[in-house]
Amino acid sequence: MSDRRPLQIDLLTGLDGELCEELAVLAQRCISGYSDDRPVSASLVRSRLTNALTGAPPVFAVARDGRELTGWCAVRRPEPGEVMARLWGPVVEPSARRAGLGRRLLQTVVEAVEWPLVTTDVPVDRDGATDFFARSGWEVLDTITVLHGTPSAGGPGAVTAADITGLEAYVTAAARRFAGVEASFAASALPRWRDDARFSAETLLLDPPTGALLLALVQRNATGSELLVAEVWAADAEVRRRLIVQAHTLAADRQVAIVRAVTRQDPADFAASGMRVTGRCRAFTLPGER
C-alpha cells in the first residue's frame, strides 16, 4: 500500500497571469491528440473563466504536488441573463489520474457553488472523461459536432464589424432574431465577445441585407493556430454557407492552420461549405438542474 498523502486541494479567489499560464499549459497537455486538440493560451483561459460583464473571477480549485500544478477545476459564474454556470474541467495531469483527484476537484467546486451547472464540451472519443461524468451522476444535456476545414485563399470578401456603425444594435438584433435569447442577454452579446482576447472587429463577419453574422476567433500558441467559427446567426441556408466560406478566406488571410467549428445545430451547412466532421462532444448537467 502506498503511503503517499493525498494532494492538497485549495479553493482560490483570483486569477493572475502566472496562474492562467499554468492552467493553460496543463490543459494543453491533457487535450493533445483528441478531437478537441486546439491552441490553449493564458489569455484564452482568462477570458473563458472570468465574467465579461461583471469581471467576477471563477470559483475554482487547484491541486499541487509541492509547487507543481497537478489538477484544476473551475466554475465560470453565470453572466447576467444566464441560468446555468459553466464547469471547466476537472483537468488532471495524466500521470496523476485514476487516484480520485478528478472526483475530489469536481466535488470541491460543486459544493462551493449554488448555481445549476453545465459542463464544457466533452469529446466522445475521450472515453475516460465521458465515463467520469456518468459515474459521477451527471447526465447528457446536449450533443455537439466538431468540424475542421482548410483555409482557402482567393475566396469572396466579406463585410466586417470594422466596416459599419451601430454594431451594438446590429449584434443585439441578431441575437434576438436568430439565437432567440432574451433582451438583456442579447444586449450583452457584443460586450462578452469583446472581452475575449481572441476577438477582433475584422473577424466578425456580417451580412447587412439580412442582419446575419458569423463570429470567428483567431487563436495561436506555440503548438498551432486556428480560426474558430464560434457563432453563425442566420435564418437562410445560403447566407449561412456564404458566411462560412468567407470565414475560410479570412483564415487564409490570417495565416492560421485550420478552421474549426463547434455546433449544436445540424452541421449540414458546414459540411456543404467543405468542412468535415472530426468529432462529437457531449455537455453534461447534474440531474434536476435543467
What share of residues in the chain are helix, strand, coil (percent, to 5)? 35, 30, 35
| Fold that domain 8-120 belongs to in CATH | Aminopeptidase (3.40.630)
pTM: 0.81
Nearest residue to 214 via CA among 168, 248, 264: 248
C-alpha distances in Å from residue 206, one per residue of 141, 167, 173: 31, 10, 12
- Which amino acid type is present at position 214? L
Q: Where are the domains of the chain?
A: 8-120, 147-280
Q: pLDDT tens for residues 244-273?
A: 999 999 999 999 999 999 998 899 999 999
Nearest residue to 62 via CA among 18, 98, 31, 32: 18
List the CATH code of the domain at 147-280.
Answer: 3.40.630.30
Q: What pLDDT, on a 0 to 100 scale, did the predictor assign at position 290?
A: 43
pLDDT band for position 227 (cuts 50, 70, 90): very high
DSSP string, 17-50: HHHHHHHHHHHHHHHTTSTT-----HHHHHHHHS
Q: pLDDT tens for residues 146-196?
A: 999 999 988 778 899 999 999 999 999 999 999 988 888 888 899 889 888
Q: What pLDDT, on a 0 to 100 scale, did the predictor assign at position 97?
A: 87
Query: Do 147-280 and 8-120 have the same topology in CATH?
Result: yes
Q: pLDDT tens for residues 9-50?
A: 999 888 888 999 999 999 999 888 777 778 888 888 988 898
Q: What pLDDT, on a 0 to 100 scale, did the predictor assign at position 183?
A: 84
Q: What pLDDT, on a 0 to 100 scale, did the predictor assign at position 249?
A: 95
Say if residue 289's pLDDT is above 60. no
Those residues with Cβ within 8 angstroms of residue 15's Cβ, 6 or more apart along the chain or in another chain: 45, 46, 49, 50, 57, 58
pLDDT band for position 4 (cuts 50, 70, 90): low
Q: pLDDT tens for residues 41-92?
A: 888 898 889 887 788 899 999 999 888 999 999 999 988 778 899 999 999 9
Measure the CA–CA gap between 176 and 185, rounded to whole angstroms.
9
Identify the bridge partners of residue 285 per DSSP, sorted by sequence position.
118, 139
Q: What pLDDT, on a 0 to 100 scale, did the predictor assign at position 106?
A: 95
Q: What pLDDT, on a 0 to 100 scale, did the predictor assign at position 139?
A: 94
Q: pLDDT tens for residues 85-119?
A: 999 999 999 888 888 999 999 999 999 999 999 99
Judge whether 247 and 80 are in contact, CB under 8 Å. no
Those residues with Cβ within 8 angstroms of residue 49's Cβ, 6 or more apart along the chain or in another chain: 15, 57, 58, 60, 74, 76, 88
What mean pLDDT, rounded, does the chain reach? 90
Q: What pLDDT, on a 0 to 100 scale, did the predictor assign at position 2?
A: 45
Say if residue 1's pLDDT is above 50. no
pLDDT band for position 288 (cuts 50, 70, 90): low
Alpha carbon 264 to its chain centroid, in Å, reads: 13
